[in-house]
Amino acid sequence: MGLRLKMIPSGFPALLRRKMKSKVVVYGVVLVVFLLACTAAAAAAAITISRKHQHRASCDVFAAGSWVVDESFDGVALLRMWSGKKVMFVGDSLALNQYESLLCMLHAAAPNARTTVTPASGKIDPSTTARFEELNVTIVYYLSHYLVDIVNERAGRVLKLDAIDQGRDWLGADVLVFDSWHWWPRSGPTQPWDFIQEGNTMVKDMDRTQAFTKALNTWARWVDANLVQASTRVFFQGISPSHYRGQDWGASARATCMGETAPVNGTAAGAGAGAYPGGPIPQQAILRGVLAGMAKPVYLLDFTYLSQLRKDAHPTKYNGGIFGEDCTHWCVAGLPDTWNVLFYAALTGQQ
């Protein structure tokens, strides 16, 4: 969804202080409850899945489980691992959600670390950088709603399904985390383009899932052309679910995330018994298909299912007053902290 500046604090340090005062109760995923293949050790700390375990037991930390309270994430180890490196989140405000959570968690782990934020105002515009000075860790949020370019031309604002010139700004990152989808269905005044172009063909509109698929393939070609030889590690944030339709979790059709205080009891991703009643998001399969066809290995941070269970984790009306109810973004501290624990597991498990 949109980048809404009122959500953005006037400075990260202030944000971090405020966040740290609130009690950080991190829900972790119990990895083993439904998967015999996962070892107990891996379950106890999502962050210690070794390569051996991952390959032998093929524990899919995203596929199944329920929600329990947990507090474990070694932020200092992560900062050390990223010493001298640049980590970049590229995407919409759901990528920003994960970025902000990560900064808060790193700050909680190393509260005395010297940090600088650019721009100093803390505004997201359009690439925001936080640096942990001593360890020289650079963490960037780069705003891109569609991953492909939007170019101002005489005709108007043109969404270029086959161009990623902005990608030059992403080169040089050691870790890249992408996301996209939430802006694709937008129409009306909040749609930030007037035409869609592919090759020499310009159209006023087209099926948005089809457009998303084309753009995702363009993105995949860009990654393969630019990063196959590079040591850059590439991640894609799975599509983040919203909770505006109560029937998706077995409540009345008029229910939204407002007033929800507990997760849905989950058992297994996908369809069938124990699945989230709303089922998978159709664009998940498209994303998986595109990633599977790439030369560069891209790790899917498959957060969709575990987030579908968290109808209780949205800001609702406590979002700065932009929407009546925000059932799209996630509170921080909150669900994105768990995303980052799993991100950490993915980072360390692959090494």
Ligand X SMILES: *[C@@H]1O[C@H](CO)[C@@H](O)[C@H](O)[C@H]1NC(C)=O
Of 138 and 328, nearer to ligand X (C-beta) is 138
Amino acid at 334: G
Contacts (CB under 6 A) with ligand X, residues 15-34? none
Instruction: By CB under 6 A, tell whether 350 contacts ligand X.
Output: no
Is residue 86 a contact residue for ligand X (CB under 6 A)?
yes
Exposure on the CB side of residue 333, measured as CA atoms within 13 A: 20
Residue 135 or 150: which CB sits closer to ligand X?
135
Categorise residue 315: left if φ over 0, alpha if ψ from -120 to 50, beta otherwise.
alpha
Q: Least separation, in Å, of the C-beta of 130 and ligand X?
A: 12
Q: Which of 84, 188, 272, 282 binds ligand X (CB under 6 A)?
A: 84
For residue 310, state whether it binds ligand X (rule: CB under 6 A).
no
136 binds ligand X (CB under 6 A): yes
CA dihedral (265, 270, 274, 278) positive or negative: positive
Question: Could you give the CA distance from residue 124 to residue 10 in angstroms, rounded to a whole number?
Answer: 10
Q: Supply the minimum distance, in Å, between the C-beta of residue 136 and ligand X.
A: 4
Spatial separation of the C-alpha atoms in residues 320 and 112, rounded to whole Å: 29
Only one of the segments 81-89, 197-205, 303-311, 313-321 lies at the binding site for ligand X (rule: CB under 6 A); that segment is 81-89
Q: Residue 53 interacts with ligand X (CB under 6 A)?
A: no
Cα separation, 55 vs 51, in Å, equals 6
As beta bridge partners, residue 98 has: none
Q: Which part of the chain contacts ligand X (CB under 6 A), choosing from 35-43, 83-91, 111-119, 146-154?
A: 83-91
Closer CB to ligand X, 22 or 136, in the complex: 136
**Nearest alpha-carbon partner for 222 in 159, 163, 273:** 163
Helices and strands of the chain, counted as H and E runs: 9, 13
Site string for ligand X, 96-135 (x = CB under 6 A): ----------------------------------------
